[in-house]
Amino acid sequence: MSKENTVRLISAEGFEFVIDYEAACVSNTIKNMLSSQGSFTESELGEIKFPEISTPILEKVCQYFYYKLRYTNSTHDIPPFDIAPEYALELLMASNYLDT
Amino acid sequence: MGVEPLKIEIPHHLNRHELFVPALKDLCVKVVAENFVLQPSFGSLDKENKAKVVDLLSLELPLELVGPVIEEEVYWKRRSQSRWSNCELSAHGDSWKQLYFEKNLAQTLENFDPVNEDLEELKRLLAFSSPWVYNLNMKQLPSHMDLQVLLSPSLLSNLFFMKLTYGRHNVGMDYEQSLFGMKLSDCVSLARALEWTETLTYLNLSSNLLDDDRVKMIASGIAENKSISHLDLSHNKIADRGVKALASLLDRRSVLVFLNLRSNQIHVEGGRAIARALKSNKSLLSLNLSLNRIGDEGCRAIIEAATQNESLTTLNLSATAAGESSTKALGNLIRQNTSLARVDASCNDFGEEGGAIVSEALETNKTLQSIDVRMSNVGENHEKAISEMLKSRFTF
């Protein structure tokens, strides 16, 4: 992962997840935030704060980004994506916000 | 727990299977729905996703759990239709949720077996169904359970309509007379329950083989009650003694608005008792005494009393063996009374003279909207004249 193609996603607790630009753009919301023509801090610094998304949820979201990249247009069988029941509701709300 | 992705097949000539990675949203919706029992909550989910979760929810979820949490009518519709065909929504406040809770409770009560089942469980069902139960319609109650439990305001606090018939479904060759009808002990517990209920407004005890003793017991309970306004005791075996007890309920303090005594065994004395009550009663709007052999004397007394009564709007004396003196009284009623809107005097014996009396009296009356004298031998001409007069009065 070269420095220029990474993005930092920051959870409510301040935990930073450094992931590929391509992975982050699985989320339409993030994609729009990063590629906007205006002068949003996100597009300049390549970092986005999510004060409403807690760390374990944001971690799961990032895992999903890579899962999606890995298996889109794949010719192999796709393995299931595990979601623990106790996170499901929060994850649903986060994914709704992130449009993913 | 893992969630299987969607598999979509591309037509053969492209010779390839394409697999889609489902959106994270959809994966989550499935997991939330499947684990709802463990986490019965929607949190602060938006309407759209909430609806998606509800669509996937199992119909077997425990009622106690989902009652307070699921408001969505779609869910209750699915659940109701999976259990019963021909759901009549209008009988349940046009709400599928209400329909489900009411029918579920009625069915449970109808099949409750006190020997093999726990009364405490039943009480729990009553308690947590309470917010959505307003009507109860039971066609059998083989347990003959204590009605004080059923009508206890601490359990069913919203119940305002109850129709209770002690019948029996699907008896077939096992018919026994003792299986049908209300027992005296049921009347006792009902009378006690009626003293305490403050929400019950409509009470229907039609077809319960109620005789004088039973009715007297029930009447004693209603005497202490101030909430019941509609009382239906049709199709029973109430005779004069029972009716006297009911007539005493119609005193100046009465709040009874609608009384149906159709198809009982009321005779002259019963008719006279009702007539006496009608003189001072100010609450009754509708009185149905049809299909009782009250006889000409009794009917005349009732009609005379109704003439002075200023609150009654509907009077049904169909098939009460009314005759000549009743017709004269009817003529007076039509001329003098200004509150009655509907009178049913069909299936009696008035003769042509009666027909003339009625149609003549109608000319001055301005308040009567309908008077039915069919099958009372008034003759075709009078019947026609009467119906024309009323039609012309109320067509615009």
Q: Which amino acid is at B231?
A: L
Helix (H, G, I), strand (E, B) or coil at B367: coil
Does B27 contact A71 at a Cβ distance shorter than 8 Å?
Answer: no
- According to the model, what pLDDT value does residue A2 have? 53
Which residues on chain A are in Cβ contact (under 8 Å) with B39? 85-86, 88-89
Which residues on chain B are in Cβ contact (under 8 Å) with A73? 18
Which residues on chain A are in Cβ contact (under 8 Å) with B24? 61, 64, 68, 91, 95, 98, 100
Which residues on chain B are in Cβ contact (under 8 Å) with A72? 20-21
Does B3 contact A75 at a Cβ distance shorter than 8 Å?
Answer: no
Q: Which of B18, B31, B46 sits opposite A96 (nearest CB)?
A: B46
Tokens 């009508």, residue?
B151
**Percentage of the residues of chain A whose pLDDT score is greater than 90:** 59
The secondary structure of B257-302 as a DSSP string is -EEE--SS---HHHHHHHHHHHHH--S--EEE--SS--HHHHHHHH
- According to the model, what pLDDT value does residue A43 have? 59
Does A96 contact B41 at a Cβ distance shorter than 8 Å?
Answer: no
- Helix ranges (H only) for chain B are 24-34, 47-56, 63-66, 73-83, 96-110, 119-129, 147-150, 184-196, 212-223, 240-247, 268-280, 295-308, 324-336, 351-362, 380-394
Q: Which of A78, A89, A95 sits opposite B19 (nearest CB)?
A: A78
Does B23 contact A95 at a Cβ distance shorter than 8 Å?
Answer: yes
Q: How far apart are CA B25 and CA B27, in angstroms?
A: 5
Q: How far apart are CA B234 and CA B186, in angstroms?
A: 18
Which residues on chain B are in Cβ contact (under 8 Å) with A68? 21, 24
- According to the model, what pLDDT value does residue B344 have? 95
Q: Which of A68, A80, A92 sits opposite B3 (nearest CB)?
A: A80
- According to the model, what pLDDT value does residue B34 have? 92
For residue B159, give Cα distances in angstroms to B126, B127, B166, B199, B234: 11, 12, 19, 6, 22
- Any idea what DSSP says for residue B374? T
Which residues on chain A are in Cβ contact (under 8 Å) with B69? none
Regarding beta strands B17-19 and B7-9, do their DSSP bridges make them parallel or antiparallel, or are they unpaired? antiparallel
Helix (H, G, I), strand (E, B) or coil at B360: helix
Residue to test with chain A: of B14, B20, B21, most A Cβ within 10 A: B21
Helix (H, G, I), strand (E, B) or coil at A76: coil
Q: ipTM of the assembly?
A: 0.89
pLDDT per residue over A36-76, tens digit each? 754 456 656 788 899 999 999 999 999 999 999 999 888 77
Q: Which domains does chain B have, with CATH numbers?
A: 102-393 (3.80.10.10)
Give the residue numbers in A contacting B (CB under 8 Å), as ranges: 61, 64, 67-68, 71-75, 77-86, 88-93, 95-96, 98, 100
Q: Is A63 exposed, middle or buried (0-12, 13-18, 19+ CB in 10 A)?
A: middle
Helix (H, G, I), strand (E, B) or coil at B35: coil
Does A74 contact B2 at a Cβ distance shorter than 8 Å?
Answer: no
In tens digits, chain B (396 residues) has pLDDT values of 566 666 555 444 433 334 688 999 999 999 999 999 888 888 888 889 999 999 999 999 999 989 999 999 999 999 999 999 989 999 999 999 999 999 999 999 999 999 999 999 999 999 999 999 999 999 999 999 999 999 998 899 999 999 999 999 999 999 998 999 999 999 999 999 999 899 999 999 999 999 999 999 999 999 989 999 999 999 999 999 999 999 999 988 899 999 999 999 999 999 999 999 999 999 999 999 999 999 999 999 999 999 999 999 999 999 999 999 999 999 999 999 999 999 999 999 999 999 999 999 999 998 999 999 999 999 999 999 998 888 877 765
Which residues on chain A are in Cβ contact (under 8 Å) with B37? none
Query: Min CA distance, A56 vs chain B (Å)?
Result: 15
A/B interface, count of CB pairs below 8 Å: 82
Tell me which residue of B196, B194, B204, B186 sits closest to B146, measured CA to CA: B186
Which residues on chain B are in Cβ contact (under 8 Å) with A80? 2-5
Query: Min CA distance, B23 vs chain A (Å)?
Result: 6
Q: Which domains does chain A have, with CATH numbers?
A: 3-98 (3.30.710.10)
Does B25 contact A78 at a Cβ distance shorter than 8 Å?
Answer: no
Answer whether B281's CB lies under 8 Å from B311's CB. yes
